[in-house]
Structure 1
């Protein structure tokens, strides 16, 4: 099943994304983020099966449109639930517009066939969840992982790579869900000249999202997405501002500007990205996923990673696991404390300690999915009686120029022992072993990127169950800007782990 919608067509401003898949449903996000577009009166949303047979349709007359940003009256979207679907089935979603007479709104028909003439505005595809994890003789349950996309110089490369993966590679690499683990948009880059008028601040955020969502359309239209927010969905090291002396953030020192900016940023996170504090997906009795937004409701005084009720949901999930668990979060576990410029999870000592204690409680293996650090790595350590693995995929596109010199990173030559702090009830620190990591890139003639950096990439993880060996996870890293002659993105690294 292929998407035929061109990049040129995206210039029309329409965005399509999929969220909240279940075994029998998913949600369709349809809208326009560009502020100079208007609603269409003759839309038809069609749901088709793998054979191209029409399953359901929704006309524009039944769609309730909403504003994505409350601070300005431009842009619109709707979130539609598609029910009564078959488990583990990929559906195509096609949005068409009927051609009509400008004076009467009457449909224009094809002179030859007499059929109404329509134009496809945008299309995509989404798969329902399986009722259980497939065995390793079947197509695995595939999760795509990526983070950190700077639009400047991306040139649509990240989305093109995902489209190519889905078109050229085996179905086993086609994502069932995609996890965008944070920094899908860099709201704070370019903020120096921002207006002090709340409505115009909101418009600025809306424009940044319009650019980002065009760059990410390949992820959004090829599977259901679970998005997490990280600091650049707001500003560097959000929510802390007391120790942030970055010159480019000077406008946010004004409390009223910062308040309006935060409100608009939260609109983007909640309404456009559909970030939720906690999402849990269970694949039968085989595997359990938890997706936790540990950024949007973070506080500094007191130091809390999340709202306590939501954090308790995460802890409860971990403490009652009866299967291996997969935890997706916006920052890595296998890191040291950060500084005032950029806090890491160990800076939030109490919550970090509680999280690790909960993850260790049942002895089931844990896999962490994350981004943020601008390098790619698979690593392993021990947590109590369990193995804990961490897969990092970052970045999709490096930040260029002077800002990039601050953000550019490569995997550390020595990983600190884990955990970084003492956790009551757990043994001492364990060694962290690197299983795979992404190569570095350095080109002194490429003045866009003055420092050595990690090659842009994303990862796919194929989950399947085995006889006796636990859950097999085939991990593959894919280049964003390098392709084989076949047109498929180049495979950078591969490894296999087993969760018990």
Structure 2
């Protein structure tokens, strides 16, 4: 049996533990200790099969997951967590969330932001190595989409009624989530660093999900798209959410005062008619988040909104139906994007500043928006990719051309990557926000967003870390401090 675990982000004073057991039909009850003290979960363990078609000779699932919750002291600090089960032991250190953002004299509340991880491109396991060595201790890790690339390689045909083919999909999660035990590159070191929130994007399914893609034969018919989509959704639920099936399509709400944070799934319930980005659960969560922000502002309390999803906010979308379906439909291509814009507009009317976090676009950028009516701030922070996928032929040609340029001193350190796109001039209903690019970074990267209490508001600073064996490229870069103040 193989055993693994990570801490899922939850409210302060609660430690929520995802546990995976692999290779056993009847998972044993795990014994958990926290800081060398036996810990009793709030509810008895309830294991659910990981829906990866892995079964024994009797047709019983041999891979399982469960989520256990524990009361812990209401303080944020590294905790030593040990899990014993079936003669196996898994040990790691993680934290729980603090109640509030500290003042500058007491430190900062730190969020590790990462997205777009192509495991085959992380041959040397650098992502885990560098994340483990970042001196700033994150209190929260946000994996903002494309934690796996289920649609690569392009020649892979999965799934059909043959379970062996469907297991090819599941193996990508298996390698990432158990990379430490398997001694392969993967996400396990990232998952262990701090409590984790996972948001899906298209490659949790396939490129530009839910649209058919000419390079992916499994998406050409309604039946094969449904089968592939159902399989991908099940794996996302089992690994990235955990617990009983059915958790996709919603949102996760966390508060670290005065930050009120919402992490929204805008992919799993997206339709192919350019209408719906979110399902009813996500819409209800966004409405509740808005109401809480407005109520706190009306009561005179400091308040800042933090919103995260899987695609960029400040971006010019493709206009033709052909481009939207063939390449990448962006959030503004959907009618329901009006709901998001209207929400941000109403928050600006109330003077509530908001930070939006995401990945997806394969470059890093910080951009600011200022409402022309109220002066309220709206920031976007992007960190992408952590390890860039390889595009056959095209990337080889880029590298060859860069080698030629390098002979004459004109080569690029990241030949396969793109520079950040310029932000549009305006955003929002009636173009009410004026936008400005504050920072940009090319290459494989992760970011740490640090928040500190200053007077009646919060300051934010973003530190980017390159994922490279070249020390010059892995050197951290910091933005200036940005003020988040109610207006």
In the other structure, the counterpart of 2:199 is 228
Does the 8 Å CA contact 1:332/1:371 hold for their aligned counterparts?
yes
Deviations, residues 114-147 of structure 1 (Å, cap 9, x unaligned): xxxxx6x322223222222211111211111010
Distance 2:454 2:200 in 1: 34
In the other structure, the counterpart of 1:371 is 359
Deviation at 1:268, TM superposition (A): 1.5
Does the 8 Å CA contact 1:270/1:276 hold for their aligned counterparts?
no
Deviations, residues 62-83 of structure 1 (Å, cap 9, x unaligned): 6443212165534211211112
Q: Helix, strand or coil for the counterpart of 2:49?
A: coil
Residues paired across the two proteins, number: 425
Distance 1:466 1:55 in 2: 39
Distance 1:303 1:456 in 2: 33
Does the 8 Å CA contact 1:94/1:124 hold for their aligned counterparts?
yes
* 2:111 paired with 1:161: no
- Which residue among 144, 147, 151 is the counterpart of 2:115? 147
* 2:295 paired with 1:295: no
Deviation at 1:42, TM superposition (A): 8.3
* 2:211 paired with 1:240: yes
C-alpha change, 1:181 and 1:175, in structure 2 (3 Å) is: same
Distance 1:429 1:409 in 2: 32
Does the 8 Å CA contact 1:192/1:251 hold for their aligned counterparts?
no
Does the 8 Å CA contact 1:374/1:410 hold for their aligned counterparts?
yes
Q: Helix, strand or coil for the counterpart of 2:129?
A: helix
Distance 1:327 1:223 in 2: 19
Deviation at 1:480, TM superposition (A): 1.7
In the other structure, the counterpart of 2:410 is none
Distance 2:161 2:421 in 1: 46
RMSD: 2.8
In the other structure, the counterpart of 2:173 is 209
Does the 8 Å CA contact 2:29/2:45 hold for their aligned counterparts?
no
Higher relative helix content: 2
Q: Helix, strand or coil for the counterpart of 1:495?
A: coil
Distance 2:394 2:39 in 1: 46
C-alpha change, 1:198 and 1:317, in structure 2 (3 Å) is: farther
Distance 1:70 1:181 in 2: 23
* 2:65 paired with 1:77: yes
Q: Helix, strand or coil for the counterpart of 1:262?
A: helix
Distance 1:335 1:360 in 2: 17
* 2:30 paired with 1:22: no
Does the 8 Å CA contact 1:287/1:325 hold for their aligned counterparts?
yes
Does the 8 Å CA contact 2:5/2:90 hold for their aligned counterparts?
yes
Unpaired stretches in structure 1, ≥5 consecutive residues: 1-11, 100-118, 439-453
- Which residue among 397, 401, 424 is the counterpart of 1:416? 424
Does the 8 Å CA contact 1:47/1:57 hold for their aligned counterparts?
no
- Which residue among 283, 304, 320 is the counterpart of 2:276? 304
Larger CA deviation: 356-365 vs 220-229: 356-365
Distance 1:191 1:140 in 2: 43
Distance 1:164 1:455 in 2: 19
* 2:309 paired with 1:354: no
Q: Helix, strand or coil for the counterpart of 2:392?
A: helix
Q: Helix, strand or coil for the counterpart of 1:237?
A: coil
Larger CA deviation: 334-343 vs 318-327: 318-327
Does the 8 Å CA contact 2:249/2:266 hold for their aligned counterparts?
no
Deviation at 1:403, TM superposition (A): 7.5
C-alpha change, 1:250 and 1:42, in structure 2 (3 Å) is: closer
C-alpha change, 1:345 and 1:276, in structure 2 (3 Å) is: closer
In the other structure, the counterpart of 1:434 is 437
Deviation at 1:335, TM superposition (A): 0.3
Does the 8 Å CA contact 1:85/1:128 hold for their aligned counterparts?
no
- Which residue among 222, 236, 239 is the counterpart of 1:269? 236
Q: Helix, strand or coil for the counterpart of 2:336?
A: helix
Deviation at 1:320, TM superposition (A): 4.5
In the other structure, the counterpart of 2:484 is 499
Deviation at 1:256, TM superposition (A): 3.1
Does the 8 Å CA contact 1:202/1:260 hold for their aligned counterparts?
no
Unpaired stretches in structure 2, ≥5 consecutive residues: 55-60, 180-185, 242-247, 298-302, 399-414
In the other structure, the counterpart of 1:178 is 141
Distance 2:369 2:345 in 1: 12
C-alpha change, 1:130 and 1:430, in structure 2 (3 Å) is: closer
Deviation at 1:314, TM superposition (A): 1.0
In the other structure, the counterpart of 2:32 is 45
